[in-house]
Structure formats: C-alpha cells, structure tokens
Amino acid sequence: MRLDVRKCLGNFTLQARLSLPARGVTALFGVSGSGKTSLLRLIAGLDRPDEGVIHIGKRCLVDTTRGHCLPPHRRRIGVVFQEARLFPHYRVRGNLTYGMPASARSRFDPIVDLLGIGRLLDRMPGTLSGGEARRVSIGRALLSDPELLLMDEPLTGLDGARKHELLRYILTLTRDLEIPIVYISHDPKEISAIADHLVLIEAGGVVASDSLERVLSRIDLTTQLGGFDAASVLEALVTRHDDEYALTHLDLGNDQTLVVPLVDAPPGARCRIRIPVHDVALALSSPADTSYRNRLDAVIKRVGTLQDSPTSVELLLEVGHHPMRARLTRKSFDELGLAEGMPVKALIRCVAFDMRHL
C-alpha cells in the first residue's frame, strides 16, 4: 500500500507519506493523539483526505487531484475496532454473513475454525464475552473478503488471559492467511509479538517506517520508542533442544548460538525473541567465571547518548546477522575503552519469550 495524504482536523494536521509491505503485520505506534486512528480512518474511507492519494497494489482508492474517492464498502478493506460493533439483533451467524460476498462463502468454515467461534454461531451478541465478540468481529471483517485488514487496538479492554488468547488467534491468522494487516496498539509487548513492520507516528507525521528489528535498533528513536523499554527483537532459528537442562539453542547467523529456556517449537522453526537492554553486558574477552549463559561475538556498530540519561551510553551491536542494543554506564564504557568498530563479547543473561513461533 502506498499513501501520501494530508488532512486537517480542527487544529491538528495529519500529513503522512508511507509505503507499506504487501504482506505481514504493520503496526502503527505513537502517543495518544498522534494521529494513528485518523490515518486508519482515511485508509478505510471513513474520512476523506484534504489532499492526497492512497493505493493498494495497482488499485487507486483515493486521488484527490482527480476527485476520486472510493466509498468504504468498495475498498475491500476489513476494519476491526476496539469495541466489536456487532449487530445486536442478529445471531453470530447473521453477523458473520452480513455483507459477505458469494466469493467468500467457501471461506466461512475455515475462518470460523481459525477463530474458534463454531460453537457460538447460534448465540446472540449480548451473551458473548468481550474476547468472543472481538473474534466474531474479526471473522466478519475477514468474510467481507478484504485485501487489507485494519485493526484499531483490538485487544484493548480485555483481561490478561483473553488478551493472550485473542493475540494467539491473530497470530495464527497472520500466518495462515495472506491478508496484510495494519494494526494500531499502545502496547509494545503486543507489537513486539505481532508486527513485522513498524511505523512511528508523532504529531501527525511519520517519524520512521521500517522492519520492526531495524526501527527498534535505532538509538536516535529511543525517546519515541520509550514504551518499548529499549529492547531488541530478533528472529532466530531453532537448532536443537537440550532436554536435560530444559534449554533451546537458537542460531543467530555467523556461528552465533543463543541458548534460552526451552522453546516449544521444533528444530528448523523460526521464533521471535525479545532481549531487554539491561540483560546485555559487555566484556573484552570471554570471562570463564560468569553466570551469563550466553557469550556471543559482537561488534559495536554505533554509540549514542540519550539527552535525559547522562550517566548511560547506548550501544548498537551486531551479533550474527542481527542488530542488538545494549546500555552501559558511561563509566564502564570508558573503563573498558570501548569505541565504534570494536569487537566485544556480548553477555546475555536471560531472554524474554513473550514471543511467537513463526
């Protein structure tokens, strides 16, 4: 999808130029009021830009210079909002088939299975739990046979267990269906688990748009990425399990192996892991007497500082084929005599697995 739009809303101006991948999940992240929902509404056709163009593949949805603006129902875009917005007087089945084109009929059963809503088909929306209602609303969006799915904070307001369950369904969906998703969330953990591409929005503008791994590795964006709590997210290959110690070996490329608590995925699977900066320490040589399980070869690619944190130094390392962030005190950095381009050992204590298997 390509878009280049401008829209004034009162004294707020949204001005965005973006080119998004045709597959996978693109997350829009930014503080409250930065313009995420306004952008989604322009894509869905719920609002018109004052100026601009929006294309999905070769299809032109909007081109204001030609006075062209497709209405929402002709855009082939499914939208899932924070609240489910089901028709209260239709059963679940009626909600799912409302507006379903004949071309989507054959997908009814697979989508119902995928979302685990088969046993809810004869229920009225008022009797569903929050998580069930969201799943039905995702099903309805998918059965409109969309080329693009827009999700505006679909997990907000759900409790921990429901949130986790729905996140699992959405992850399955991204793996099993070819439909690209644009996903708004305030929750960095959710984004780390689900997104392939990350767009940072600030004051109505696009600050960054790139793969999740690359945006999270940008030291200059640490403030905007504040909620992500400075962590690296990277995708690794499961090579083997060590059942005796309940550990899994992951290949990071260039002969670098990360050993983590047992991952429930077979050798050969790809999984995504998150490594907070405070779990990474650096050494000049490989210390023998340390409890750090992982001692990886790394190169310091970039060194930066944060305005509001004068005691620490931000580092961008390269480990295997991956960027990885670390944070040291300025004193340790100076005492070790570190500099850009230096090879070091990255000592990694533990690794968070709020992660997905790909």
What does 276-325 look like in DSSP terms, one character per residue?
Answer: EGGGEEEESS--SS-S-SEEEEEEEEEEEEETTEEEEEEEEEEETTEEEE
How many CB atoms are located within 10 Å of the residue 100 CB? 16
Contact 324, 214 (CB under 8 A): no
Interacting residue with ligand ATP among 3, 26, 29, 37 (CB under 6 A): 37
Smallest distance from the beta carbon of 185 to ligand ATP, in angstroms? Answer: 9
- Which one, 35 or 154, has the nearer CB to ligand ATP? 35
Residue 127 near residue 12, CB atoms below 8 Å = no
7 binds ligand ATP (CB under 6 A): no
H/E stretch holding 25 reads strand 25-29
Say whether residue 36 binds ligand ATP (CB under 6 A).
yes
Nearer to ligand ATP, 33 or 157 (CB): 33
What distance in Å separates the CA atoms of residue 268 and residue 251, rounded to the nearest whole number?
10
Tokens 């004034």 sit on residue: 8
Q: Is residue 71 a contact residue for ligand ATP (CB under 6 A)?
A: no
Q: Which of 2, 9, 113, 332 binds ligand ATP (CB under 6 A)?
A: 9
Q: Name 325's bridge partners.
A: 316
Interaxial angle between packed helices 108-115 and 130-143, expressed in degrees from 0 to 180 and rounded to the nearest 10: 150
Q: Does the footprint of ligand ATP cover residue 30 (CB under 6 A)? A: yes
Q: Which is nearer to ligand ATP, 133 or 200 (CB)?
A: 200
The nearer residue to ligand ATP, 38 or 192, going by C-beta atoms, is 38
Minimum gap (Å) between residue 26 Cβ and ligand ATP: 15
Among 15, 26, 34, 144, binds ligand ATP (CB under 6 A): 34
**Least distance (Å) from ligand ATP to the CB of residue 299?**
37
Options 9-17, 156-164, 212-220, 319-327: segment touching ligand ATP (CB under 6 A): 9-17
Q: Which is nearer to ligand ATP, 39 or 128 (CB)?
A: 39
Q: Enumerate the β-bridge partners of residue 329.
A: 312
Does the protein bind ligand ATP through residue 269 (CB under 6 A)? no
Q: Does residue 35 touch ligand ATP according to CB under 6 A?
A: yes
**Spatial separation of the C-alpha atoms in residues 63 and 61, rounded to whole Å:** 7
38 binds ligand ATP per the rule CB under 6 A: yes
Asked if 75 touches ligand ATP (CB under 6 A), the answer is: no
| Measured distance CA(302)–CA(264) in Å, rounded | 34
> Could you report how far apart the first and last alpha carbons of the chain are, in Å?
24
Can you tell me which residue has the tokens 């601009």? 52
* Cα distances (Å, whole numbers) of residue 268 to 228, 257, 296: 28, 14, 21
Residues numbered 78 to 117 that lie near ligand ATP (CB under 6 A) are none
Does 15 engage in binding with ligand ATP (CB under 6 A)? no
Q: Does 245 bind ligand ATP (CB under 6 A)?
A: no
Give the binding site for ligand ATP (CB under 6 A).
9-10, 12, 30, 32-38
